[in-house]
């Protein structure tokens, strides 16, 4: 049985180290992002967009 692994195939299906490495990469990328993320603002903007553009 072949399992897709990041950029190659593995017959053993051991994804733990690959997934862990990728999670670390994504986490580091998000921490160095120059744009601050405000979840409350994002929710408010999304709701207003839905209310004005989709619902009405």
Q: What is the pLDDT along the chain (56 residues), one digit of tens a residue?
A: 444 444 454 555 666 788 888 888 888 887 787 777 788 999 999 999 999 988 76
- Write down the pLDDT at residue 56: 65
pLDDT for position 2: 44
The model's pTM is 0.37
To 5 degrees, how large is the angle CA 31–CA 34–CA 37? Answer: 70
Question: What's the count of helices (H) and strands (E) in the chain, helices before strands?
Answer: 2, 2
pLDDT at 13: 61
Structure tokens belonging to residue 51:
């209310």
The rounded distance, in Å, linking the Cα atoms of 40 and 47 is 11
Residues 41 and 25: their CA atoms lie apart, in Å, by: 26
């Amino acid at each position: 049985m072949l399992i897709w692994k990041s950029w190659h195939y593995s017959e053993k299906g051991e994804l733990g180290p690959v997934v862990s490495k990728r999670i670390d990469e994504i986490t580091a990328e998000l921490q160095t992002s120059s744009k601050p993320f405000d979840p409350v603002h994002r929710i408010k903007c999304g709701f207003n967009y839905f209310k004005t553009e989709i619902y009405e």
